[in-house]
A = this chain, B = another copy of it.
């Protein structure tokens, strides 16, 4: 697949650290990594109007639900979404038990190091790889596999841990909303059991506030001990029209605020914006080729045409990563 990556990380790092260390000097600003532009002002103005008692658009605390896409909204999804690197590493780990993978696509391409070719075969092959690598264990075993992997997995270009490739400005939005009585949820096309083992540590979002795609699971007694076994069958695809469905099923309230960055988030943003009373929809536009990756409607993997067009047409808050963020990634301790 086409990469638009430009390796300017070393140039950017000092600026990022500077922006981060000076944040304590302006403690009153809940969003120090945001430039004082229209996007930041729209977030603050919205939160102030829905939380000010007596405001015509006041929203009681229990109804303050905010939903965030994960890949490309809370952390970096380029060159590939992180869960695909997990999938690739799982294929390599499990390969000795599957000699047939050496000659069976799409596994053979992965084992030859050509992930692009493996992915280009389409949805069916990708789903086959997901089922072969994400199921067959108990839920407890899978959580440990994810925990072990995420503890050391690094971004292929920056060498940072993937959990350090999260967006500092969005971490600030999460904290700011929680400080204002919001419950923050992740609503992602990614696997719910891939995200839950680390989402609380990295984002402050507890497992019960993570909504995602899932496989079917089955309750079993093994020698008298109850386990939940992950079956090789898709249970729920939490993407596009599935996002409002997942929100309704898991949260049971329409969000007051929603944050996304692709066509996969479009229906979540529509569903949120169409609610009665004050609603807020934000679309993050990846236009920063220097500090992250610029990708847009011509992108090969993500679908980005309709969401961005609708965001502009409907006056949702559109964030330019390049212009609106002083810092992209947190400083590394």
Contact = CB atoms under 8 A, between A and B. Distances in A.
Contacts of A241: 218-219
Given A62-B206, A208-B183, A217 B249 contact: yes
A316 interface: no
Interface string A203-247: 000111110001001110100011010000001000001101100
Contacts of A139: 248
Interface string A188-214: 000011001000100000111110001
Interface residues of A, number: 36
Given A200-B62, A218-B241, A226-B271, A251 B207 contact: yes
A38 interface: no
A249 B207 contact: no
A245 B228 contact: yes
A65 B209 CA distance: 13
Interface string A232-276: 000100000110110011111100000000000001001100100
A214 B249 contact: yes
How many copies the complex holds: the figure is: 2
Contacts of A225: 274
Contacts of A252: 192-193, 196, 207-208, 210
Interface string A94-121: 0000000000000000000000000000
Nearest to A235: B249
6 closest A-B pairs by beta carbon, nearest first, are: A207-B252, A219-B241, A208-B251, A196-B252, A226-B270, A226-B271
